[in-house]
Structure 1
Amino acid sequence: MSFDGSFTHAMTKELNEKLSNGRVSKINQPYDNEMIMLIRANHKNYPILMSANPNYARVQVTNIPYTNPGVPTNFTMTLRKHLGSAVLSKVSQVDNDRVMRFHFITRNEIGDLKEMLLIVEIMARHSNIILVDKQDDMRIIDAVKRIGADKNRYRTILPGDTYINPPKQDMFDPFNASDENLDKISALVKSYPNQEMLATQLRQNVQGLGKDTSLYLAKYLHQNGNLKILFQSFFDNFDKFKPTLMVNEKSDSFSVYPFIQNDKNETFDSLSALLDKYYESKAQTDRVREQGGTLIHIAKNELKKNRNKKKKLQKTLDNTKKADEYRIKGEILTTYLYKIERGMNSIKLTNFYDNNNLIEISLSNQISPSENAQKYFKRYQKAKNAVIYVNEQLKQTNSEIEYFDNVLSQIELANPDDLNDIKTEFKAEGYLKKNHNPSSSKKNRKQKISKPEHFTSDNGITILVGKNNLQNDQLTLKDADKRDTWLHTQKIHGSHVIIKSFNPDDMTIQQAAELAAYFSKARDSAKVPVDYVKVKQVRKPKGAKPGLVIYEGQKTVFVTPKEETIEHLRKNNQ
């Protein structure tokens, strides 16, 4: 089920039950187009995620941790100014549309009470978060996405504009359906016995139906019974919901109710907990791609450049294999100079290096026989010298390819918070221009490497996992005791893992190996080889790239990484 109008109806009900008369205590914008508003209600703190992300727009209570940017955005400062300490009187929905309104009671400059609206429009790439002064004729204060007349002539979203609701469609609200509306539904069911065709018709007539919801409703209405009662019964589930993660072979989906029964379905205490589970990895991946776009672009460009360079170097190296051929031809020409006449384009001579078989040698008709022989010797010397240079260049190019392959793997597995380390690393390595602003440069110099993630084995032993090259170097080469145990996937890009024990038991090694496999490019593989060795046997070659180490005397264990195990080890650390 998508976050359609019907799901918005259910979420509005859930938020009202939890947040009514709550007070705003904090407002932050940890990610582009996403706000976190901490509301204290009923002696509890509720972090409300309001997302205008084009792919994962939604509103929910979230328990997924986040990190605030060092400097708040202008929109954050505007919200803090107008909504700081405001009381949330209610949450409402516009009809059955994907528009939620947060009604705040606050005070103006002279202390009079006034109502402000924070409107969240959940409409894919058109999603937005808009602050509106209700008592000033719905005047827009600001929005997370400003929309000018060049993008939308009908409806601009700019400070000072009057807020206009999204265009209303000719559909009816299923939660306030009239007898006439229900008669229309009955007629549609009779006219369209095919479930998918009926679902299409329902989406065109009933407001707030996503594709999944319309298919569930079509199936529901094809049951035997009174169609009007079936219709109303279906939408009752959105008021008495049973949040369910529905698992199937193609992809998981979330729903207010288990419309499709499955033994693998997972139920939750709230819609928000359901969305946390469903969106945690999806939204995180999207945020990493969004925030790490520049880093990904640099890494991919460098990979492309180095792969092209490798092809050219390989071609040059292949040509150097002709070096001996040039030498032989030069020596044969020198031996038989008396047979060569100026102006010849080629000549066949006896090859005393090949059982006296004839060899045809190309000549330049513009130079003398002796100069032709010298030309072959020069080619030979050039090719011979090139072998050393090209091999060195190939070694460096392969190292660059390996490095950027590794970085892309790290970005793919990263949390948004891990990207700052990669950005710092790129600046240090010269792949990303440094900010020449004096104050910014000072901050960059003082920036500390983020901490590795902590896990705890079932036997109570701490396991540390580095998430990027700088973390890995710091963890392995500086922080770890030489008697600790170090793990890494064998010949596969991945994290450095440290077991904080001088003599870890087999279970801890197994669990640490699963962590190493999970935080590697082999996350989705089975029987992943993981090497483990004492830290003292790991070292960094001189001049090596960040994160690169070599080791010896290792043992190997084979594991299959499972997300459940990783979560279990995370909880052990809490």
Structure 2
Amino acid sequence: MSFDGSFTHAMVHELQQTVTTGRVSKINQPYANEVVLTIRANGHNHPILLSANPTYARIQVTEIPYVNPPVPTNFTMILRKYLQGAILKGVTQAANDRVVHLVFTARNELGDQQELHLIVEIMARHSNVILVDQASGKILDAIKHVGSDQNRYRLLLPGAQYITPPKQDLTDPFTGPRPDLATTIREFPNRDVLAGTLQHQYQGLGKDTAAALASALHQAGDANANFTTFFARFDDPQPTLTVSPKGKTSFTAFPYPTEGQQQAAATLSELLDTYYQDKAERDRVQQQGSVLIRVVRNELKKNRNKLKKLQRTLAETENADEYRVKGEILTTYLYQVKRGDTTVTLPNFYDAEKPLKIALSNQLSPNQNAQKYFKRYQKAKNAVSYVTTQIEQTQANVDYFDNIMAQIELAAPKDLIDIRLELQQGGYLRDHDHQKKAKKRRKQQISKPDQFTASDGTKISVGKNNLQNDKLTLHTAKRTDIWLHVKDMPGSHVIVHDADPSEQTILEAANLAAYFSKARASSTVPVDYVPVKRIHKPNGAKPGFVIFTGQKTVFVTPESTLVDQLTANNQK
């Protein structure tokens, strides 16, 4: 389901019950198009996410932790200036449109009370978050500035008059059905056609909401009563997550008549956290890690091309003996070779039945041709050891960057900081801070690994990138702790903080190792485990690379539900 006007109605109702009369305690902007307002209400802190993301625009209470930038944006500073400590007077919706007004009362610099509206417009790529002074109707700031070159109808710039989005000539379904509802149902007996017609008559109906409404109107009983009952359910929602037979996930305010496995959530906000967590995280990683992804892809491409060339060179060195034989035969039968010949066929004393045809340079004497073959033989022979070493090093680079790419694919936005630092330390990514000589930089601290708790209470740590892996395995873990890693593919280092863990704990830790690896979507994944004292990092090895002996192997199938359970255990 899209975040349509009807779902917005239900969300506004939930926010009214949850955060109205609360006070703004924190304001942060963790991402370019998203703001988090922490509102203290009824003895609890409620982080309200206001998203103007083109793909995931929404408003909700969120429990997903966010990492804030070290320097707040200008928009964040404006919000803090006007809204820090403000009281949330109410949450309203413009008709059944996807426009939500958070109404605040606050004191200005003179101590006078003023009313401010923080307006969230949920309109795909035109989504925005706008702070408006209600008395003057002036825009104080917007998360996205829209000038006259982008929109002649309405400017979204500081100081401009706020103009509401263009109104649609449609009926708000929460005011009741249109008088011609029964006629419309008779004229369009096909449910799909009826659903499309309803979308053109009523405001804020997404495609799936219109289809569900069409099904409700075709049920027995009075059509007007069915219509009213359907929209009344948005005021008493049963948040539902549906997974279709094809694996597509959707969310609705209450169960819609559709195929698939349905799962209930306690609140609409919890439903959205479940639905958007992975999708939005992947999107943020792609946006914030775009430079890292480009650098790693370029390095992978460069090293893979180099590896192919080295392998071709190595294949050519296999002909070294052929050069030697040709040189020896030419030396033996020099008297039969004439200067200026381009080829010559001579007896082969290594295979008497097959005379050997030898290519010659007509610019060289017979002896010089023979010496040329000996030189090619010696060059090919000397190249074997060099090329073999280069192949090993290049293959190690391919494995390293393949591992980095896997880590980015599995990373949360906060994990990208360490990956960026690693690439800077390796010289693959320029550290622009070096150019700012006047700026004193402190040594960047490596973030902490993720923590989990096994069913029996044993603590488990999981490194999410190479710098975390090195610190966790080589510096933090005890020698008697148990180290796990998915076998022969990129993945996280996992440490069980126990010298003699139970079999169940080993299996749970192995599940974490498989889940946080390139084998997340696989089944029956082999995972090696061994005491930390058997782990060794070779001198000069790249971050995250270790060798070990005496390992045992278990086979597990990664389960996200188990990972969630182990995460929940750690929060108790």
Aligned to 1:202: 198
Aligned to 2:129: 129
Which 10-residue stretch deviates more, 434-443 or 422-431? 434-443
SS at 1:117 equivalent: strand
Aligned to 1:163: 162
How far has the Cα of 1:73 moved from its partner?
A: 1.0
Separation in 1 of the partners of 2:41 and 2:135? Answer: 25
* 1:350 pairs with 2:347: yes
Separation in 2 of the partners of 1:448 and 1:316? Answer: 44
How far has the Cα of 1:570 moved from its partner?
A: 1.5
- The structure-2 alpha-carbon separation of the partners of 1:154 and 1:314, relative to structure 1 and needing over 3 Å to count, comes to farther
**Matches of residues 171-320 of structure 1 in structure 2 within 5 Å?**
171-177=170-176, 181-183=178-180, 185-250=181-246, 251-260=248-257, 264-320=261-317
Q: CA RMSD in A?
A: 1.8
SS at 1:297 equivalent: helix
Separation in 2 of the partners of 1:162 and 1:382? Answer: 78
**Residues 424-463 of structure 1: per-residue CA shift (max 9 Å, x gap):** 10100011101224579743x5211111111111222111
Unaligned segments of structure 2, at least 5 residues: none
Q: Contact 2:37–2:47 at 8 Å: present in 1 too?
A: yes
**Residues 164-205 of structure 1: per-residue CA shift (max 9 Å, x gap):** 222222322111246xx341x433322322222222222222
Aligned to 2:147: 148
**Residues 474-529 of structure 1: per-residue CA shift (max 9 Å, x gap):** 01111111111111111121111111111112111111111111111111222111
Q: Contact 1:492–1:521 at 8 Å: present in 2 too?
A: yes
How far has the Cα of 1:551 moved from its partner?
A: 0.7
- The structure-2 alpha-carbon separation of the partners of 1:440 and 1:175, relative to structure 1 and needing over 3 Å to count, comes to farther
How far has the Cα of 1:263 moved from its partner?
A: 9.0
Separation in 2 of the partners of 1:521 and 1:339? Answer: 64
Aligned to 1:553: 550
Q: Contact 1:409–1:493 at 8 Å: present in 2 too?
A: yes
* 1:481 pairs with 2:478: yes
Amino acid of the structure 1 residue aligned with 2:50: M
How far has the Cα of 1:301 moved from its partner?
A: 1.4
Aligned to 1:63: 63
- The structure-2 alpha-carbon separation of the partners of 1:341 and 1:441, relative to structure 1 and needing over 3 Å to count, comes to farther
**Matches of residues 404-483 of structure 1 in structure 2 within 5 Å?**
404-434=401-431, 435-438=433-436, 442-443=440-441, 445-483=442-480
How far has the Cα of 1:533 moved from its partner?
A: 0.6
- The structure-2 alpha-carbon separation of the partners of 1:440 and 1:327, relative to structure 1 and needing over 3 Å to count, comes to farther
Which 10-residue stretch deviates more, 369-378 or 85-94? 369-378
Q: Contact 2:27–2:38 at 8 Å: present in 1 too?
A: yes
Aligned to 1:366: 363
Q: Which runs of 4+ in 1 moved over 6 A?
A: none
SS at 2:554 equivalent: strand
Amino acid of the structure 2 residue aligned with 1:57: A
SS at 1:516 equivalent: helix
Separation in 2 of the partners of 1:310 and 1:192? Answer: 64
SS at 1:454 equivalent: strand
Separation in 2 of the partners of 1:114 and 1:3? Answer: 31
**Residues 371-397 of structure 1: per-residue CA shift (max 9 Å, x gap):** 212222222222222222222221111
**Residues 321-365 of structure 1: per-residue CA shift (max 9 Å, x gap):** 222212211221111111111111111111212235111111111
Amino acid of the structure 2 residue aligned with 1:82: Y
How far has the Cα of 1:72 moved from its partner?
A: 0.9
How far has the Cα of 1:143 moved from its partner?
A: 1.2
Q: Contact 2:285–2:408 at 8 Å: present in 1 too?
A: yes
Separation in 2 of the partners of 1:454 and 1:171? Answer: 51
Q: Contact 2:245–2:260 at 8 Å: present in 1 too?
A: no
- The structure-2 alpha-carbon separation of the partners of 1:542 and 1:7, relative to structure 1 and needing over 3 Å to count, comes to same
Separation in 1 of the partners of 2:464 and 2:536? Answer: 19
Amino acid of the structure 2 residue aligned with 1:235: F
**Matches of residues 374-393 of structure 1 in structure 2 within 5 Å?**
374-393=371-390
Aligned to 1:96: 96
**Residues 70-123 of structure 1: per-residue CA shift (max 9 Å, x gap):** 111111001000111111111111121111111111222322222111111111
How far has the Cα of 1:534 moved from its partner?
A: 0.8
SS at 1:13 equivalent: helix
Separation in 2 of the partners of 1:239 and 1:570? Answer: 33
Q: Contact 2:19–2:88 at 8 Å: present in 1 too?
A: yes
Aligned to 2:512: 515
Q: Contact 2:27–2:36 at 8 Å: present in 1 too?
A: yes
Q: Contact 2:242–2:260 at 8 Å: present in 1 too?
A: no
Q: Contact 1:182–1:228 at 8 Å: present in 2 too?
A: no
Q: Contact 2:513–2:527 at 8 Å: present in 1 too?
A: yes
Q: Structure 2 residue aligned with 1:494, among 491, 494, 501?
A: 491
Separation in 2 of the partners of 1:23 and 1:351? Answer: 96
- The structure-2 alpha-carbon separation of the partners of 1:53 and 1:3, relative to structure 1 and needing over 3 Å to count, comes to same
SS at 1:351 equivalent: coil
How far has the Cα of 1:209 moved from its partner?
A: 1.2
SS at 1:510 equivalent: helix
- The structure-2 alpha-carbon separation of the partners of 1:226 and 1:439, relative to structure 1 and needing over 3 Å to count, comes to farther
Which 10-residue stretch deviates more, 36-45 or 419-428? 36-45
Separation in 1 of the partners of 2:391 and 2:190? Answer: 62
Unaligned segments of structure 1, at least 5 residues: none
